[in-house]
Structure formats: C-alpha cells, structure tokens
Amino acid sequence: MKINPVILSGGSGTRLWPLSREQYPKQLLSLMGEKTLLQQTVSRLDGMEHVADSLLVCNEEHRFLIAEQLRALDKTPADIILEPVGRNTAPALTLAALALQKSAPDEALMLVMPADHVIQNVGEFHSAVKAGAILAEKGRLVTFGIVPTTPETGYGYIKKGDDHKVEAFVEKPDAETAGHYVRSGDYLWNSGMFMMLASVWLDELKRFHPAMFEACKAAYEQGRRDGDFYRVNAQAFGSCLSNSIDYAVMEETDRAAVVSLNAGWSDIGAWSSLWEASVRDEQGNVIQGDVYAHETRNALLISQHRFLAAVGLDDIIVVETPDAVLVVHKDHAQNVKEVVNRLKQEKRSEYQTHRRVYRPWGYYEGIDAGPRFQVKRLMVKPGAALSLQMHHHRAEHWVVVKGTARVTKGEEVFMLTENQSTYIPLGTTHRLENPGNIPLEIIEVQSGSYLGEDDIVRFEDKYNRAK
C-alpha cells in the first residue's frame, strides 16, 4: 500500500516574527539549511519505497509561493487544496482524506505532517513511519510521540501503554509535572504528526463530529479546479467548526496508537526552539548573516539587511530585517506573539508583509515613500506578466533597469529596454510583461491621493486572481 504524504501548511508562525509574517509564514523560510521548512517536509520521504506524491492543504494567500517552492524541488504535488479560511487541522485533514478517497483506487494510507517541523535524523523517521504504517493498515489512528529530552512545558504529552496503545493525551503541564513525566519514561511529546487510512479518519470524524464531516464534504464536492489548485466551496467550508485533529478525534477514539520517535524533532515554535535545534559555536551562539559577537554567549543573532554587532550579551535573541528589529531574552521568546498582536491592533503592515512582497509574477520591494508618492523595485520573472489593470487614484512611472519589458498602455503595446521609461496616467488600462529570458527589473514611481495595494481593478489575469 502506498503512503500518501498529506502536508498541512496553514500556520502563521507568529512567534517567529519578524522573519515569519502572515503573508510569508515560517514554513516558507530557510531557517535551518538551504531548503525551506516546507521543502524539507516535502523531501522527507525521499528514498522510501511506495510513497506517492504529496498532497498539500494551504492558505489561499500562500498558494503561488508554495507551488513555486515545489517547482524549485522539481516535485509535482498530487494536489494543492486551498482553504478559503482557517479552520484548524481537523477540517484540513478531512479535505485531504476526501480528495484521496476520490482519487485512490484502493485504500489511501495518509501520513500527516505539518509543513513547519524539523527532523534531523531522516533514517529514524523512516523507520518510525514504517512501524506506523503497519498499525495504520490495521485500522489504528497513529500519532508519533517524540522521546522528550527536557521537561518542556510548551508541548502536550502522550502517556503510552502496551502494544502502542495511547493511555492518555495530556495538556501542557507546569514545570514540576513535566519533570515527573520525563523522569517516568512513560510520556512522549505530542508531535502533531499522524498516520491513518483515509476511510478510518472519515468514519471516526462522522462518529464524533458529523456536522464537521458534512460541512467538509459539501465544501469539497462543491469545489472547483483552478489551474494547479483545487478551491473548495468557501461558504460551505466557512460553516465548519474549527477544531484540531487531537481534540476532534484522537482524544475521543478507541483506535489511537502511538509510535515513539527519536529523530532530532523540533516544531521551531519560537526563536528559543530554533537556537536549541541549530548548530552552535564555541560560545553557544547561533549566527546568521553579517554579525559580530563579542563576549556574547548562548545567543541567536540573525541579520538580513545590515551589519549587526552584539557586545556583552548572554541568552539574547536579535533578529534584524529590512523593516523591523526584534530584541528579546530567550526566556521570553514565547511572548513575541504579543508584538504581532500589537501591530495588528495598530493596523501596521509589519505583521502581515515584509518590505519585499512576493507575487506569482515575481516580487516588489518598497524603496521610499512619502505624502502622495512611493517608489518600488519590481522583479518580473521570465515569461511572467502582471494583470491587465487600472488604478483610480494613482499614476505610475516605470523605468527599466534590467531586461526587456512589453508594455500595454491603453490601446498601445510597445517594448522598453534598459534605461527607457514610460508614464501610465491615472485611470489608464495597463499591463507589464517580461517576454525575455532573464528577470525584468523595473523602478516604479507611484504618485496620487491614495497608494494602497487595493486600488487595483483587474480586467485579465493569467493567475486567476480576483478581479
């Protein structure tokens, strides 16, 4: 029986701000190694036999970024299912199970993996998956429990019994209780990874949450194909209650089983977790980017944009990006989400986007802004095109600095090369395309009474974005 990897990529990773943001969350970042966390997850079963292409469930806003990261690996997904709204992991898994039941001629065996975890010993992981498959094929709902290395209070625990039986799921404990759990040897960290037959999952969900099952079934059956993606029905899915795999089924069922996993696992749930999972220098520091550390120990120092110097600091985390800098003591790393909450309350953009914002055609990056103007640098990938569009409140001036542009301006269509420019008056229909074989780079100067990204009226779009 083939293993069908189901990768859940709906998380936002607020505790890893300012690198992780709502429109570019942690699973899309290269935090450990050259591959992103998503790419590591997709590649995790490479070398195992009887493994099907991965099926992904993701936030609609991230669809092009995820598809691009898979293309970079030269991997074709079984499907990418889009969630119009977040409803936690149980509905997401149900969509995947419904899709696999429809496409698989035989019983579909699912290996459910969050897209943002790190596993350093892939061989041990493969062994655990094989053990889990034997149990899952017998109708058990398998969870993978991590052999604890410390009395961690940030994870839920699983009490294991005989014959892989789950004795109990335990909520996040206090420090004293966590120490007792670790010393007893009877408890494992709850990893959030699972293995089961699609049919068994659906049967158990119908048993415990029939309304959730019906909402997901309606959402999937009323969905439609959109290029590389499958869009479920937004209204039907929106009516579904939010719940996790654990709460919805695993803590209710009598079929739960657990397989122990000792493979260098981490969910990278906070900056302190990244420090613990990373290779450290002689002073215990983890350093990325242009950084100088003097008399500094056990620190995580990340610089993306400029020179960073740390002097006489211990147990500190500093993360520098082009538009935000985080400084936090490791003991308070879990509280970074409070910064994100404050940014949301103040309706600031830093919680949502980076200075560089990715689009299916490439990206744009803010350079300067002031009253009634802003300057951006655009990179358009070879063969890509922006939508045919119009703005009600702004005019644009484009200067080509690299590559060749095909410009539509009203009824005109013409080419621009390096150092040539054009002006797009307010209210004029226009499009920018890259017909060449190298990236097209444009400096765009916008001027007008309102410069928000929502001042776009789309007439045509090759990526099927909303008009």
Element (H, E) at 38: helix 37-42
What is the distance between the alpha carbons of residues 127 and 5, in angstroms, rounded to a whole number? 15
* Beta strand residue intervals within 182-313, DSSP E: 187-197, 224-226, 229-231, 256-261, 265-266, 286-288, 291-294, 300-303, 308-311
* pLDDT on residue 467: 59
What tokens does 291 get?
A: 């950084």
User: Which structure tokens are listed for 374?
Assistant: 């802003």
pTM across the whole model: 0.92
Dump strand ranges (E) for 330-410.
356-359, 362-370, 373-380, 388-390, 394-402, 405-409
**Amino acid at the residue 171:** E
SS3 of 219, please? helix
Query: Quick one: which of 372, 380, 371 has its CA closest to 398?
Result: 380
**What's CA 329's distance to the chain center, in Å?**
25
Taking every pair of C-alpha atoms in the chain, what is the biggest distance, in angstroms?
A: 76
Determine contact, residues 154/334, Cβ cutoff 8 Å.
yes
CB count in 10 Å sphere of residue 119:
21
The full set of domains in the chain, from first to last, is 3-266 (3.90.550.10), 271-337 (no CATH), 356-460 (2.60.120.10)
pLDDT at 13: 80
Return d(Cα 48, Cα 111) in angstroms, integer.
Answer: 13
Phi, psi of 381 (to 5 degrees): -65, 155
10-residue mean pLDDT profile of the chain (467 residues): values are 95 91 95 95 96 96 95 96 96 97 84 97 97 97 95 92 93 92 94 96 97 97 95 96 96 96 94 95 97 98 97 98 97 95 95 94 95 97 97 97 98 97 97 98 97 93 82
pLDDT for position 1: 85
Tell how strand 187-197 and strand 109-114 pair up. Answer: antiparallel
Q: For the range 222-228, what are the long-range contacts, defined as Cβ-Cβ under 8 Å and sequence gap of 24 or more?
A: 226/82, 226/464, 227/463, 227/464, 228/67, 228/80
Report cis status (omega within 30 of 0) of the bond before 18: yes
What φ, ψ does residue 106 adopt, rounded to 5°?
A: -115, -170
Distance from C-alpha of 387 to C-alpha of 362, rounded to nearest angstrom: 12
Burial class of residue 87, CB neighbours in 10 A (0-12, 13-18, 19+): buried
Helix locations, 328-377, DSSP H: 336-345
